[in-house]
Structure 1
Amino acid sequence: MEVVEIKTENETKVKIEEPQDEDSKENIDRINSLKSLGPFIAGRVNSQNTIYLSDVPDICKDKPCMLGVDEAGRGPVLGPMVYGISYCPLESKSALNELGCADSKQLTEEKREIIFNELNTLEYAKSCVGWAVEIISPNVICTSMYRRTKCSLNEVSMDSAMGLIQQAIDAGVNIAEVYVDTVGPPEKYQEKLLKRFPNFKITVAKKADSTYPIVSAASICAKVTRDHALKVWQFPEGLIIKDNAFGSGYPGDPVTKRFLSEHIDLVFGFPRLVRFSWSTAENALADKAYDMEFDEPDSEKPKFAGGTKLTKFFKGTT
């Protein structure tokens, strides 16, 4: 199995491919899940997004396919949000059932890892099921929500989902049906997706991961990716957190609360792992960080000496 890194201006794509010769097959046992991709995740600049793509099974290019979309890590104050897609031919739905794809929230972390590993190593699975994930960094989430033209978390989520669907199209997947776990009102989201992809049958529903196995497969890919992204997280600020013990990242987790209270920089706030735009982070900083004052920008319009406006020189010209 080969890991191919493709860099673009704003993101990095990593394509997972099967070995092309006997020598490279020696590595297949070492790179059979995202555990082995940890060094690649850790090596990313944490302010950028990263996309991982499996190889596309040939049958997915020929037969009409279903594609599922789901995310992991939408609510936590720490770490990335991960969007995932999974796809397989309509006639191969039994492979998803055989893998054990069910509501990913009801599966243990260990069981999700087993399913993901089998998805990439068992012949009956990898010959008909493909996947892709996008790791959306905390920094991208925060800057999107804080920028002058604000981009909500829902918009970030929808853009990622549509981007991954487009990745599958560009890779040659013959998509016929799309199933999506909703963000916001299902009707509006479905209308948005149909406008972008009018040729597909699109279903957007609440708790789709517990209803449609293909969405559950996407959810498993997303959750396993986020779990391992956190396990191998490297702090560019130089922090050393033993076993990356910052908890689940959810605001109610006492371990996460302790991490936030113990790692406040009075000037710069929190490490890049933290989503600054979350009220949990803002409240934690409110009474501890230094107050900052910024000079107001000069509001006077530039003029020439003597008060002559620049526009005067363009009046009446031909």
Structure 2
Amino acid sequence: METTQITSLQTLNNFLSERDNNENVFFISDIPEVCKEYPCVLGIDEAGRGPVLGPMVYGTAFCPINESTLLVDLECADSKALTEEKRDNIFEKLCNASNKIGWAVEVIAPNTICNSMLSRSKYSLNQVSMDAAIGLIRAAVNCGVKIEHVYVDTVGPPEKYQAYLKSIFPKLKIKVAKKADSTYPIVSAASICAKVTRDHALQVWKFQEGLELSHKEFGSGYPGDPLTKKFLVDNCDPVFGFPQLVRFSWSTASKALENTAYHVEWEDVDEETTPPANTTSITSFFQMTNNKSTTKTEHSFFTQRGLSRKVEL
């Protein structure tokens, strides 16, 4: 976690453009002194849970309870009901009110989402979401925010999620609800921080695969978007699959792969058969050797996707 001074959309863009798309990014604003002195309300919401492209972003906002009317004055509302221009405008206002309002976000990379959902030990998107929310609350507490009330937009059954959070933060008053982003202004503020961050993360996205595409060319990232569908068809390598912008664990991506990727049939291995002495291991094709030593390092294809070898073949 890092504390950063995001004072405008421009500084947000600059910050995001310097980060690695393959890694999660967690940052929190400077903490207003009033948030350390007076009881605060804190809200949590996400943006980008459903798209097949790009990161999912979890956001939080917090302010003193006696300053809650400020959120209404700033026109905080459910980010999905606002235009992009309106969201950006409100985000600028939130930044300008940094003496009374603080916020934080976690940008969860597509790699993280896919590797979690496809891991051998089941780790669902709901659990990824809950862990992000817990991390945001802990970050605020560790930074000295005097939290009293917490409002969270639900993931799954609200009662079950609320009980789970209460077991972790027994001293806090926690309310988990459906459509909390349109009910509680502090959750609306969190929703705007998350949505604006995701939008601008896509705008400054750098393709490590060498593609030179504007965010306008791959659309919103939602499976039903024609531009997104076209992007998936046009940018699928028959061997290596999709660019890292794509959540390859989504069924939309899997279906696109079926029509584009090479079909591979794996032969059964006879465990009693010893391979010839001159047989080259397939793993050697995915390693690079340093000219000055015999030390082998993982190929960038694996390191960029957060993959590591667990068993020697």
- What TM-score comes out, normalization by structure 1 length? 0.82
Query: d(CA) in 2 for partners of 1:299 and 1:118?
Result: 66
| Residues 1:156 and 2:128 aligned together | yes
Residue segments in structure 2 that go unaligned for 5+ positions in a row:
273-313
Among candidates 3, 20, 30, match of residue 45 of structure 1 = 20
Q: How much has 1:118 moved relative to structure 2? A: 1.3
Query: d(CA) in 2 for partners of 1:153 and 1:218?
Result: 20
Q: How much has 1:38 moved relative to structure 2? A: 2.0
Q: 1:297 to 1:164 in 2, by over 3 A?
A: farther
Query: d(CA) in 2 for partners of 1:97 and 1:250?
Result: 30
Letter in 2 for 1:38: N
Deviates more, 1:98-107 or 1:214-223: 98-107
- 2:47 corresponds in structure 1 to 72
- 1:223 corresponds in structure 2 to 195
Q: How much has 1:37 moved relative to structure 2? A: 2.7
Query: d(CA) in 2 for partners of 1:299 and 1:193?
Result: 49
Query: d(CA) in 1 for partners of 2:239 and 2:145?
Result: 48
Q: How much has 1:45 moved relative to structure 2? A: 2.1
| Residues 1:278 and 2:253 aligned together | no
Q: 1:132 to 1:298 in 2, by over 3 A?
A: farther
Q: 1:38 to 1:14 in 2, by over 3 A?
A: farther
Query: d(CA) in 2 for partners of 1:56 and 1:243?
Result: 32
- 2:115 corresponds in structure 1 to 143
Q: Deviation per CA, 1:114-159, whole angstroms, max 9, x where unpaired?
A: 11111112xxx22111000000000000000011112100000000
Query: d(CA) in 2 for partners of 1:298 and 1:260?
Result: 38
Residue segments in structure 1 that go unaligned for 5+ positions in a row:
1-12, 18-30, 301-318
Percent identity over the alignment is: 61
- 2:4 corresponds in structure 1 to 16
- 1:128 corresponds in structure 2 to 100
Q: How many residues align?
A: 272
| Residues 1:87 and 2:62 aligned together | yes
Letter in 2 for 1:75: G
Q: 1:127 to 1:296 in 2, by over 3 A?
A: farther
Letter in 2 for 1:150: K
Segments of 4+ moved more than 3 angstroms: 293-300
Query: d(CA) in 1 for partners of 2:266 and 2:143?
Result: 48
Query: d(CA) in 2 for partners of 1:222 and 1:167?
Result: 16
Q: Secondary structure at the match of 1:38?
A: helix
- Is the Cα–Cα contact under 8 Å of residues 60 and 105 in structure 2 kept in the other structure? yes
Query: d(CA) in 2 for partners of 1:153 and 1:100?
Result: 31
- 1:56 corresponds in structure 2 to 31
- 2:144 corresponds in structure 1 to 172
Among candidates 250, 253, 270, match of residue 222 of structure 2 = 250
Query: d(CA) in 1 for partners of 2:194 and 2:104?
Result: 9
Q: Deviation per CA, 1:231-252, whole angstroms, max 9, x where unpaired?
A: 0000011111145520000000
Query: d(CA) in 1 for partners of 2:58 and 2:175?
Result: 17
Q: Supply the RMSD in Å over aligned alpha carbons.
A: 1.6
Q: Deviation per CA, 1:71-92, whole angstroms, max 9, x where unpaired?
A: 0000000000000000011111
Query: d(CA) in 2 for partners of 1:296 and 1:193?
Result: 47
Q: Deviation per CA, 1:263-287, whole angstroms, max 9, x where unpaired?
A: 0100011000000000000000012
- What TM-score comes out, normalization by structure 2 length? 0.83
- 1:107 corresponds in structure 2 to 82
- 1:26 corresponds in structure 2 to none
Q: Deviation per CA, 1:147-172, whole angstroms, max 9, x where unpaired?
A: 11121000000000100110000000
Query: d(CA) in 1 for partners of 2:48 and 2:20?
Result: 19
- 2:280 corresponds in structure 1 to none
